[in-house]
Amino acid sequence: MSLQTFLYFAYGSNLLKERLQLKNPSATVYCVAKLKDYKLVFGNYKGLASDRWHGGVATIEDSPGDEVWGVVWRMSISDLESLDNQENVMLGAYRPVELSVKTKGQDISCRTYIMNSCVYAQPSPQYLQVSHLFQLLRGYPEAFPGQLRDIVPPVCPGSSPGPPPSGTGTAPA
Protein backbone atom coordinates (compact mmCIF):
# COMPACT_ATOMS: atom_id res chain seq x y z
CA MET A 1 0.00 0.00 0.00
CA SER A 2 1.24 3.46 -0.89
CA LEU A 3 2.19 5.99 1.76
CA GLN A 4 -0.41 8.21 0.10
CA THR A 5 -3.29 5.84 0.96
CA PHE A 6 -4.77 4.12 3.98
CA LEU A 7 -7.26 1.30 4.57
CA TYR A 8 -10.56 2.02 6.32
CA PHE A 9 -12.87 -0.70 7.71
CA ALA A 10 -16.54 0.34 7.42
CA TYR A 11 -19.30 -1.55 9.21
CA GLY A 12 -22.25 0.89 9.21
CA SER A 13 -23.59 3.54 6.87
CA ASN A 14 -20.21 3.90 5.15
CA LEU A 15 -20.71 0.48 3.62
CA LEU A 16 -22.56 2.39 0.91
CA LYS A 17 -20.08 3.77 -1.63
CA GLU A 18 -22.45 6.53 -2.70
CA ARG A 19 -22.62 7.82 0.87
CA LEU A 20 -18.90 7.51 1.64
CA GLN A 21 -17.80 9.11 -1.63
CA LEU A 22 -19.93 12.23 -1.10
CA LYS A 23 -17.12 13.72 0.98
CA ASN A 24 -14.38 11.16 0.37
CA PRO A 25 -14.11 10.79 -3.41
CA SER A 26 -10.96 8.66 -3.36
CA ALA A 27 -12.65 5.70 -1.61
CA THR A 28 -12.49 2.45 -3.60
CA VAL A 29 -13.50 -1.01 -2.41
CA TYR A 30 -10.47 -3.03 -1.35
CA CYS A 31 -12.18 -6.16 0.03
CA VAL A 32 -14.82 -7.62 2.35
CA ALA A 33 -13.40 -8.50 5.78
CA LYS A 34 -14.31 -9.51 9.31
CA LEU A 35 -13.22 -8.08 12.62
CA LYS A 36 -12.89 -10.76 15.29
CA ASP A 37 -13.82 -10.38 18.96
CA TYR A 38 -16.09 -7.37 18.39
CA LYS A 39 -19.83 -6.99 17.95
CA LEU A 40 -22.02 -4.47 16.19
CA VAL A 41 -24.28 -2.40 18.45
CA PHE A 42 -26.42 0.69 18.01
CA GLY A 43 -26.46 3.79 20.13
CA ASN A 44 -26.01 7.51 20.39
CA TYR A 45 -23.08 9.56 21.63
CA LYS A 46 -23.95 10.51 25.23
CA GLY A 47 -27.53 9.42 24.49
CA LEU A 48 -28.16 12.28 22.06
CA ALA A 49 -29.76 11.24 18.76
CA SER A 50 -28.31 13.08 15.78
CA ASP A 51 -30.37 15.47 13.70
CA ARG A 52 -29.34 13.47 10.63
CA TRP A 53 -30.30 9.96 11.77
CA HIS A 54 -33.00 10.47 14.47
CA GLY A 55 -32.04 7.29 16.31
CA GLY A 56 -29.21 4.88 17.01
CA VAL A 57 -26.22 4.51 14.72
CA ALA A 58 -23.68 1.71 14.45
CA THR A 59 -20.60 1.27 16.54
CA ILE A 60 -18.53 -1.69 17.61
CA GLU A 61 -17.49 -2.92 21.02
CA ASP A 62 -15.22 -5.63 22.41
CA SER A 63 -16.97 -8.99 22.53
CA PRO A 64 -14.78 -12.12 22.66
CA GLY A 65 -15.97 -14.77 20.22
CA ASP A 66 -18.13 -12.43 18.12
CA GLU A 67 -17.29 -10.90 14.75
CA VAL A 68 -18.26 -7.88 12.69
CA TRP A 69 -18.32 -8.03 8.89
CA GLY A 70 -17.65 -4.97 6.79
CA VAL A 71 -15.96 -3.47 3.76
CA VAL A 72 -12.36 -2.31 3.63
CA TRP A 73 -11.92 0.85 1.57
CA ARG A 74 -8.64 2.12 0.14
CA MET A 75 -8.58 5.90 0.49
CA SER A 76 -6.23 8.76 -0.25
CA ILE A 77 -4.57 10.29 2.78
CA SER A 78 -6.07 13.58 1.52
CA ASP A 79 -9.52 12.26 2.57
CA LEU A 80 -8.45 11.43 6.14
CA GLU A 81 -9.50 14.77 7.62
CA SER A 82 -12.86 14.61 5.82
CA LEU A 83 -13.48 11.08 7.12
CA ASP A 84 -12.61 12.15 10.67
CA ASN A 85 -15.03 15.08 10.31
CA GLN A 86 -17.77 12.78 9.02
CA GLU A 87 -17.28 10.60 12.10
CA ASN A 88 -17.33 13.66 14.43
CA VAL A 89 -13.89 12.94 15.84
CA MET A 90 -13.29 16.61 16.77
CA LEU A 91 -16.58 16.65 18.71
CA GLY A 92 -15.53 13.50 20.58
CA ALA A 93 -18.36 11.31 19.27
CA TYR A 94 -16.06 8.70 17.71
CA ARG A 95 -12.39 7.90 18.10
CA PRO A 96 -10.21 6.50 15.32
CA VAL A 97 -8.45 3.21 16.03
CA GLU A 98 -6.19 0.84 14.09
CA LEU A 99 -7.46 -2.73 14.16
CA SER A 100 -6.56 -5.92 12.35
CA VAL A 101 -9.27 -7.45 10.13
CA LYS A 102 -9.21 -10.82 8.41
CA THR A 103 -9.82 -11.38 4.71
CA LYS A 104 -9.04 -14.41 2.55
CA GLY A 105 -6.76 -15.85 5.22
CA GLN A 106 -4.79 -12.63 5.55
CA ASP A 107 -4.77 -10.10 8.39
CA ILE A 108 -4.64 -6.44 7.39
CA SER A 109 -4.43 -3.32 9.53
CA CYS A 110 -7.23 -0.79 9.02
CA ARG A 111 -8.49 2.43 10.48
CA THR A 112 -12.00 2.31 11.89
CA TYR A 113 -14.05 4.29 14.38
CA ILE A 114 -15.57 3.44 17.77
CA MET A 115 -18.21 5.59 19.45
CA ASN A 116 -17.26 7.22 22.75
CA SER A 117 -19.80 7.39 25.60
CA CYS A 118 -22.25 5.16 23.71
CA VAL A 119 -25.75 4.93 25.13
CA TYR A 120 -27.57 2.00 23.49
CA ALA A 121 -30.53 2.95 21.31
CA GLN A 122 -32.80 1.45 18.69
CA PRO A 123 -31.33 1.71 15.18
CA SER A 124 -32.55 4.72 13.25
CA PRO A 125 -34.92 3.74 10.41
CA GLN A 126 -33.04 6.11 8.09
CA TYR A 127 -29.72 4.55 9.08
CA LEU A 128 -31.04 1.05 8.45
CA GLN A 129 -32.36 2.12 5.04
CA VAL A 130 -28.91 3.41 3.98
CA SER A 131 -27.30 0.14 5.04
CA HIS A 132 -30.07 -1.91 3.39
CA LEU A 133 -29.54 0.03 0.16
CA PHE A 134 -25.89 -0.99 0.29
CA GLN A 135 -26.88 -4.64 0.24
CA LEU A 136 -29.33 -4.17 -2.61
CA LEU A 137 -26.82 -2.28 -4.76
CA ARG A 138 -23.80 -4.42 -4.00
CA GLY A 139 -25.37 -7.88 -3.75
CA TYR A 140 -23.43 -8.90 -0.63
CA PRO A 141 -26.11 -10.72 1.38
CA GLU A 142 -24.04 -13.92 1.62
CA ALA A 143 -20.86 -12.07 2.60
CA PHE A 144 -22.37 -10.74 5.81
CA PRO A 145 -23.69 -13.72 7.74
CA GLY A 146 -26.43 -12.67 10.12
CA GLN A 147 -24.81 -9.52 11.45
CA LEU A 148 -25.81 -7.18 8.65
CA ARG A 149 -28.55 -9.23 7.06
CA ASP A 150 -30.72 -10.13 10.02
CA ILE A 151 -30.49 -7.37 12.62
CA VAL A 152 -33.89 -6.83 14.11
CA PRO A 153 -34.10 -4.21 16.85
CA PRO A 154 -33.52 -4.18 19.69
CA VAL A 155 -29.86 -5.09 19.52
CA CYS A 156 -28.86 -3.69 22.88
CA PRO A 157 -28.13 -5.79 25.96
CA GLY A 158 -31.00 -5.72 28.42
CA SER A 159 -33.52 -4.38 25.92
CA SER A 160 -36.96 -5.87 25.67
CA PRO A 161 -38.09 -7.35 22.35
CA GLY A 162 -39.91 -5.06 20.00
CA PRO A 163 -40.85 -4.76 16.36
CA PRO A 164 -38.38 -3.39 13.82
CA PRO A 165 -38.75 0.25 12.84
CA SER A 166 -41.58 0.81 10.38
CA GLY A 167 -40.66 0.07 6.79
CA THR A 168 -37.34 -1.61 7.51
CA GLY A 169 -38.24 -5.26 8.10
CA THR A 170 -35.06 -7.05 8.98
CA ALA A 171 -32.84 -4.59 7.16
CA PRO A 172 -29.12 -4.66 7.89
CA ALA A 173 -27.26 -2.03 9.84
Any binding-site annotation on 124?
no
CA distances for 97 relative to 55, 60, 139, 169, angstroms: 24, 11, 28, 32
Any binding-site annotation on 45?
no
Rg (CA), the chain: 15
- What pLDDT tens digit does each residue of the chain (173 aa) get? 667 999 999 998 898 888 899 999 999 999 889 999 999 888 999 987 777 777 888 899 999 999 888 899 999 999 999 999 999 999 999 999 999 999 887 999 999 999 999 999 988 787 777 666 555 545 554 545 455 444 433 333 333 333 333 333 322 33
- pTM of the predicted model over 0.85: no
In this structure, are residues 165 and 123 in contact, taking their beta carbons and an 8 Å threshold?
A: yes
Any binding-site annotation on 94?
no
Any binding-site annotation on 162?
no
Stretch (H or E) spanning 127:
helix 125-138
Domains of the chain: 5-138 (3.10.490.10)
Any binding-site annotation on 10?
yes
Q: Which residues are catalytic?
A: 87
